[in-house]
Structure 1
Amino acid sequence: MSPARFTIKTAAPGDCHLVDFIHWLNKTQRLQLDSYAAVHRWSVQNREAFWHTCLDFTGIETDAPAHARTLKPGQQIWLDQWFPEHQLNYAGNLLRFRDDKTALIFSDEHNNRQSLSYAELYQQVSQLQRWLLAQGVIAGDRVAGFAANRIETVVAMLASASIGAIWSSCSPDFGVGGILDRFTQIEPTVLFAVSSHCYAGRINRHQAVLEKLMAGLPSLRQVVLLPDLYEAGADDPVGHSDVVHWRDALAGELAAEMTFAALPFAHPLFIMYSSGTTGVPKCIVHSAGGTLLQHRKEHHLHLNLQRDDVLFYFTTCGWMMWNWLVSGLASGATLVLYDGSPFHPKPSILFDLAEDTGVTIFGTSAKYLSAAEKAGVQPQQTHALPHLHTLLSTGSPLNAEGFDYVYQQVKGDISLQSISGGTDIISCFVLGSPLLPVYRGEIQCAGLGMDVKVYNQAGKPVSQEKGELVCQQSFPSMPTGFWQDPEHEKYQAAYFARFDNIWTHGDYAEQTAHGGWIIYGRSDTVLNPGGVRIGTAEIYRQVEQLAQVLESVAVGQEWEGDVRIVLFVRLQADATLDDELIGTIKLSIRNGASPRHVPAVIRQVTDIPRTLNGKIAEIAVRETLHGRPVNNRDALANPDALKEFEA
């Protein structure tokens, strides 16, 4: 099942960026690196040299004085300053290609199709930049997007970044409360918004939402309405003269040459948000330089993204994978944007899109792959995908059976890269490598320059043993901090309270015998029956193999002085949770995991609560089960689902 190992010695120069990088390192640094493990070891032991050479090799355009420092160490690792004397512009690096090659393709479930070349993208960003400047937008201002995954959203983000404004976005399925929880903290001056979007065949109108947003965000000077794809002419919020249509914002003349603000490496680029299920979402600030360098490293060296690639990731603008996807423009690749349900009007719609657009790299979530398998989607038999060479999966752990599905039903000779990181670092800690084999159920490797380890409860690094995923040294894409947290108190509490001066990511993980990685779930949802720590993903893997089970959520319930495991399952429409199925579920868990993993209670529910980013809200279920309040129900996409758990 696993692809053959890609060996450095036989690789042709130019076929693989990482191979070329290793040859370049060996020549310029006088090294003899001959494996991925050797390169990774060198990258964390010589991190300044690594990140400096990575910046040069990936072609990032910066301005810096001769002999500029790579790193100015701080007293704590969160105070380290990377490339403190370098200046750059994120948008300028993404728009360095200005030819007729297709940059962006947009599609939705109605098969609305749009595209833009690199030359046209540059022109639209230039026109919108002029409009933003005319509104008085300056570096450091916040520009927000209540936006769908469309071409206009990419243009708006790039135009904002070209000035040095800070971009922050939520997808249109966020409720008003969830949006205001986020945007009131950052006080945007301009809002780009959709007046409608479509999901699962239903058109959702947003006039009332926009009215409440404008009333709740007094910092706004302008609202720009993106073109309405579904009900043209019905998109103006009532009674507001400070609403501008997209076509009018782009009406200005094209400048002969666009100006990109030269800004410090650490200048804020994006404000991202924590899930908000335990309180008001934290506003995580990411730098332009750190984001760009980390994404270039991951795209260029780990993904081997080439100019002739067509890169697709199923994402919304509220998930960090949107930001990660858009950075692919720096490689000159074609990006495919999709807005809508991944299963409407038919379960194969994403693979239909991949076939139609010639996708070479297909990105999605582990949950999508599980649902596609249960829906009987078999692209190997039904679709012509000759150019598809890589499949990416993230969002939750991809279990071993998910690997089987990809290789048996999607494509047998594909490179399957399970990746894991998060909004916190806008990138990955562990991901794929073109030089390594794929092992069933495992992520291939730790990222270059990322000093990732697993710590036991005593704070000691361990291998082949479950524990906390940590990073022992700083890296460029660490947040510059949280918004309105000048003393870094919230920032320190979020990542550095568990182990002194060590980034603790909050994942329960294990490093395998051959250097791979397994993520077992979030540390704060680890189950602890009888004092034994169990990752929820270990249970989900066994349960969701059963054809009757669509999805499940497992939580620990305080019970008689201990903790017992309670499992809730959502079943196929024709299935019932009777004694026979309960026995089958328990036997599957017992045989596939251990007797300690077997739930004490199994219950059927019709829906499982999820965060706005689509992740199962285990903490919300646990708190509801104990009769404790869920602090921020607006952070849930379907808060009414909690009613079933209240008893």
Structure 2
Amino acid sequence: MDPIWKPSKSRNSAMNEFMREVNSRFKINLADYEELWQWSTDNLEQFWGYWWEKSNIRTSKSPKKTLVHADSFEKEKWFAGAKLNFAENLLLFRDEQTAIIFRDENSNREVLTYAKLFQLAGSVAAELKSLGIKKGDRVAAIMPNRPETIVAMLATTWLGGIWSSCSPDFGKEGILERFEQIKPKLLIAIDGYQFKGKKISICEKINLVRKKLACNCIVVNWQLCGSVESSISWESLLNTQDAEPNFCQMDFNDPAYILYSSGTTGKPKCIVHGIGGTLLQHLKEHRLHTDITREDTLFYFTTCGWMMWNWLASGLGSGCTLLLFDGNPFYPSPDTLMQIANDENVSVFGTSAKYLSALEKEGAEPRLQHSFTNLRTILSTGSPLAPESYDYIHKKIKNMVQISSISGGTDIVSCFALGSPMLPVYRGELQCRGLGMAVEVWNGEGRPISNEPGELVCTKSFPSKPVYFWNDPDGQRYHDAYFSRYDNIWCHGDWAEITENGGIIISGRSDTILNPGGVRIGTAEIYREVEKIPAVLESIAVGQAWEGDVRIILFVVLREEKELTDSIQDEIRQTLKRNASPRHVPAKIIKVTDIPRTRSGKITEIVVKDLIHKRPISNKEAISNPEIIEEFKSKAELLNNP
């Protein structure tokens, strides 16, 4: 297979420079990225120690040791003895360069310089200190992707507090089942937001949540759409005469963030991520893998309930400009994000695979309206990026842009596989495994394999692993989540393949793998073929236990004017048979109006699988569109027939 993109010979990326410096420092002769990656995983302490040195993280105390070894992967500690502050390292730049640009559905625009961001974060930190926020206190936020959210996170971590957030579209129970577990000392919330042109007040929801949490509440007044009882106004925090407090110096493995699992199989797990590991990993991924510098504008379409918001916020540590957007990406038109990206001279544009697929389904051709002069990289995550989406990007958005599909997750608040400016891009593949990430693919016998699918694992420790789970004193839930499948090996739960190019193909979650007749099939293999068909907007496939075997059930969302005719079903079956295999052909195809999704927008096969097997849904609050459950329950009755 020929690559669809190659780095220019004249491009001198930070990754190239880093490899030259590694060769000089360690007196070795690495020739390409694959050799650099192999060295980084064979020599973990050398690699991470050197990257610590090169990343210029500001500390008040240097680490005594790069890695403190233990009898297990999960107990090993990185950079013991180091003292640092998370916010300080995101606020090293304090000049007049633009730090944040904010845009919304209504074309409103706000700009903050690095100097102004530092001043605002310091003011809010001073006020939070007066409210009693200190090291280890949790600050929970119900906020959209706005500048105030970044400021509040910086102020919290400035004081050594732990930041945790969800987006304002979460239901009351979904918010409480997260925040009640961590018992925040302070709640920060917006009183309303706009989505798809509709203004939505959440004052009633905030009042209920605040009463349950029994904590102070700061409210960001958004167009004054209501009132929150016994609350403090955000505006009152901004004009303090108090000097900003000192940055609280913390241990490398002290918490910065609490993130949450999707909660589709029970109450969300509270995943605690450390200050140093998060910072060190994000700087590596931004500066080396994405080649971000102070001249770049970085955008990622995300909410504050998804880890990509945390990843985006860390871009401040590299001094680039962050572009934030809040709203529906297709309102008032499918061109909304593309227009904003062009207007704001975005150089790195991040989004989800579903957004790119939906843009293609709309027939959008952004290249006809926009020049995208500065755009050099498009990032995609959330689900596997179909090979056809690579074609669409180059044909309809911008030719010869680097396409970096990335994969990791909330569990590591970063990536296992992602891009490299040194490497070519192959259609349908993630370019490489991350430096310092000992990623392999294993077969059922626990042996490493390539050029065939298996379980994605990580065989050695890394700094951005969770420091622990909240409310898990003996570490059992943490162990069960990642280390119960293989002894002392991180099993991530992705079904993947390492290709002959050294890239990665992700075929979906391994716990949703289809297994008809004993043949293991990733759901992404089905989606990328079915969603080529013009009548199909989206699909979800699950395996149903049937007569001692497993059969594939495919649910499809069709364009509004379409019915699921015999001809459309035949087209779906023939496309799968021709382009995939006869094993990929579903036993049943059923039309639905929507598909269950998690709060971060991912389709959830586990919920659909439970529904068709008439098992109870353990946590409806984890689903962003729970009204669709009844529709699937009614369809389940049809599945009793051959």
Could you say whether these structures have the same fold, taking a TM-score greater than 0.5 normalized by the shorter chain as the test? yes
In structure 2, the residue matched to 1:247 is: 235
Q: Deviations over 1:336-378 (max 9, x none)?
A: 0000001011001001111111111100000000000011221
More displaced 10-residue stretch of structure 1: 26-35 or 338-347: 26-35
1:184 aligns with 2:180: yes
In structure 1, the residue matched to 2:587 is: 600
Map of 1:268-347 to 2, 5 A cutoff? 268-347=255-334
**Does the residue aligned with 1:70 lie in a helix, a strand or coil?**
strand
In structure 2, the residue matched to 1:387 is: 374
2:441 and 2:453 in contact (8 A); partners too? yes
Q: Deviations over 1:215-246 (max 9, x none)?
A: 2112x1x2111131xx32x3322xx33x0111
More displaced 10-residue stretch of structure 1: 117-126 or 55-64: 55-64
Deviation at residue 531 of structure 1 after TM alignment: 1.1
Deviation at residue 202 of structure 1 after TM alignment: 1.4
1:139 aligns with 2:135: yes
2:5 and 2:401 in contact (8 A); partners too? no
1:68 aligns with 2:64: yes
Structure 1 Cα separation of the partners of residues 536 and 477 of structure 2: 39
1:206 aligns with 2:193: no
Structure 2 Cα separation of the partners of residues 258 and 515 of structure 1: 48
Amino acid in structure 1 at the alignment position of 2:140: A
1:3 and 1:415 in contact (8 A); partners too? no
Deviation at residue 503 of structure 1 after TM alignment: 0.1
In structure 1, the residue matched to 2:521 is: 534
**Does the residue aligned with 1:462 lie in a helix, a strand or coil?**
coil
Structure 1 Cα separation of the partners of residues 3 and 293 of structure 2: 23
Q: Of residues 40, 44, 48 in structure 2, which corresponds to 1:43?
A: 40
Deviation at residue 436 of structure 1 after TM alignment: 0.3
Structure 2 Cα separation of the partners of residues 4 and 620 of structure 1: 38
Q: Identity of aligned pairs, percent?
A: 50
Q: Of residues 617, 621, 624 in structure 2, which corresponds to 1:634?
A: 621
Structure 1 Cα separation of the partners of residues 99 and 587 of structure 2: 53
Amino acid in structure 1 at the alignment position of 2:34: A
Map of 1:335-414 to 2, 5 A cutoff? 335-414=322-401
Q: Deviations over 1:103-145 (max 9, x none)?
A: 0011111122111000000000000000011011110000011
2:138 and 2:162 in contact (8 A); partners too? yes
1:550 and 1:570 in contact (8 A); partners too? yes
Map of 1:532-611 to 2, 5 A cutoff? 532-611=519-598
In structure 1, the residue matched to 2:76 is: 80
Amino acid in structure 2 at the alignment position of 1:245: S
Change (3 A) 1:178 1:321: same
2:13 and 2:422 in contact (8 A); partners too? no
Tell me the C-alpha RMSD between the 2 structures.
1.2
Give TM-score scaled by structure 1 length: 0.96
Q: Of residues 421, 434, 442 in structure 2, which corresponds to 1:447?
A: 434
Q: Deviations over 1:525-584 (max 9, x none)?
A: 111111111110000010001111000000011111111100000001121110000000
Q: Of residues 211, 230, 248 in structure 2, which corresponds to 1:261?
A: 248
Deviation at residue 63 of structure 1 after TM alignment: 3.2
2:384 and 2:506 in contact (8 A); partners too? yes
**Does the residue aligned with 1:83 lie in a helix, a strand or coil?**
strand
Amino acid in structure 2 at the alignment position of 1:114: E
1:152 aligns with 2:148: yes
Give TM-score scaled by structure 2 length: 0.97
1:224 and 1:249 in contact (8 A); partners too? no
1:226 aligns with 2:214: no
1:236 aligns with 2:227: yes
Deviation at residue 34 of structure 1 after TM alignment: 1.2
Aligned positions, number: 633
**Does the residue aligned with 1:63 lie in a helix, a strand or coil?**
strand
Amino acid in structure 1 at the alignment position of 2:570: G
Change (3 A) 1:358 1:527: same
Structure 1 Cα separation of the partners of residues 279 and 301 of structure 2: 21
Q: Of residues 171, 178, 195 in structure 2, which corresponds to 1:175?
A: 171
2:529 and 2:579 in contact (8 A); partners too? yes
In structure 1, the residue matched to 2:100 is: 104
1:126 and 1:254 in contact (8 A); partners too? no
Deviation at residue 11 of structure 1 after TM alignment: 5.0
**Does the residue aligned with 1:643 lie in a helix, a strand or coil?**
helix
1:129 and 1:159 in contact (8 A); partners too? yes
Q: Of residues 25, 29, 34 in structure 1, which corresponds to 2:31?
A: 34
1:16 aligns with 2:7: no
Q: Deviations over 1:274-320 (max 9, x none)?
A: 00000000000000000000000000110000101000000000000
Amino acid in structure 2 at the alignment position of 1:327: S
In structure 2, the residue matched to 1:54 is: 51
Amino acid in structure 1 at the alignment position of 2:435: L
1:445 and 1:515 in contact (8 A); partners too? yes
Structure 2 Cα separation of the partners of residues 64 and 31 of structure 1: 30
In structure 1, the residue matched to 2:511 is: 524
Amino acid in structure 2 at the alignment position of 1:20: E
Amino acid in structure 2 at the alignment position of 1:226: V
Deviation at residue 249 of structure 1 after TM alignment: 1.6
**Does the residue aligned with 2:34 lie in a helix, a strand or coil?**
helix
Structure 1 gap segments, 5+ residues each: none
Structure 2 Cα separation of the partners of residues 99 and 412 of structure 1: 35
Q: Of residues 608, 611, 633 in structure 2, which corresponds to 1:621?
A: 608
